[in-house]
Amino acid sequence: MIISLFFYLFSFIIVSCAVMVISSRNPVHSVLFLILAFFNSGALFVMLGAEFLAMMLVIVYVGAVAVLFLFVVMMLNINYSQIKDGFQKYYPIGSLIGLILFIEIILMINGDNVLVSQKDSLTNNVPNTHQIGAILYTDYIYIFQISGLILLVAMVGAITLTLRDRPGVKKQNIIDQNARKVSDVITIVKVKKNET
């Protein structure tokens, strides 16, 4: 009883936050609502017994993605009223597609051809963080290694496309600094008296 009460509470907050994300006028508020929605979906995952997913959702989406959004929103001066201009025009077709997707989801839930079932792994005593760790580095080591390479490529690509050598930027060169001697840079000039 209490569990289903909490489920409806969290779901209600998620849905209303999602509505606020797209309808609020201030983009900073949108991002903050998005963060609240992420927190509540994390709570739903905890209720399902998937504490690892909940942790990841909070760490990755709230900690990294949403904060990045916040930075982008605050640093780029985008004219949001201009972006929302087409809202009226695209409203009918957008809501039509939304309706179709909604009907599809209902059909999918009612249909019996979905095989994915509740596995017993969620009910036994081993925490699922342990379980994920146990198969991620053994059965799925191949996939894990490829994802590592993808991240490396993403890093190299981002640096390749953005790093520029600007002329005139002063950099510290430690070897040069250490190799500098007093005799190289200071010359003592004796000034004779009575000479002008």
Partner 1 sequence: MELFGISGEIFLAIAGMATLLSSVFLNKDSSYRITLRLCNLSFLITIILIFFSHSHSGSLFNGSFIYDDLARFAKILILIGTMLTLIIGYKSQKLDNFNRPEYPVLILFSVLGMLLMASSNDLIGFYMSLELQSLPLYVIAAINRDNIKSSEAGLKYFILGALSSGLLLYGMSLVYGAVGDTSFSSISMASSDGMSNLMLIGLVFMLSGLAFKISLVPFHMWTPDVYEGAPTPVTAFFAIVPKLAAITILLRFTFTAFDNAISSWQQIIIILSLLSMILGSFAAIMQFNIKRLMAYSSIAHMGYALVGLSSGILEGISSVLIYMVIYMIMNLGAFIIILSMRRDNQSVEEISDLKGISQTHPFIAFSFVILMFSMAGIPPLAGFFGKWLVFASAVNAGLIPLAIVGVLTSVVGAFYYLRIIKIMYFENNEVKLDVVDNKSSMIILGIMIISTILFGLFLNWFLEVTMGISSSI
Which one, of 8, 11, 59, lies nearest residue 37 by Cα? 11
User: Residue 186 Cβ, how far from partner 1 at the closest point, in Å?
Assistant: 32
Q: Euclidean distance between the first and final Cα of the chain, in Å?
A: 101
Please state, in angstroms and rounded to a whole number, the distance separating the CA atoms of residues 43 and 37.
10
> In the complex with partner 1, which residue's Cβ is closer, 107 or 191?
107
> In the complex with partner 1, which residue's Cβ is closer, 87 or 144?
144
- Note whether 72 binds partner 1 by CB under 8 A: no
Please state, in angstroms and rounded to a whole number, the distance separating the CA atoms of residues 62 and 36.
9
**Under 8 Å between Cβ of 37 and 58:** no
What amino acid is encoded at 28 in this protein? V
User: Residue 182 Cβ, how far from partner 1 at the closest point, in Å?
Assistant: 31
Residue 120 gets which letter from DSSP? G
User: Residue 88 Cβ, how far from partner 1 at the closest point, in Å?
Assistant: 25
Please state, in angstroms and rounded to a whole number, the distance separating the CA atoms of residues 64 and 57.
10
Size of the site for partner 1 (CB under 8 A): 24
Q: Which of 15, 59, 136, 154 binds partner 1 (CB under 8 A)?
A: 154
How many residues belong to the chain?
196
The pair of three-digit structure tokens given for residue 152, joined into one six-digit string: 């490396």
For partner 1, the binding residues in 8-27 under the rule CB under 8 A are none
For partner 1, the binding residues in 93-152 under the rule CB under 8 A are 108, 111, 113-116, 139-143, 145-147, 149-150, 152
> In the complex with partner 1, which residue's Cβ is closer, 74 or 154?
154
Interface with partner 1 (CB under 8 A)? 108, 111, 113-116, 139-143, 145-147, 149-150, 152-154, 156-157, 159-161
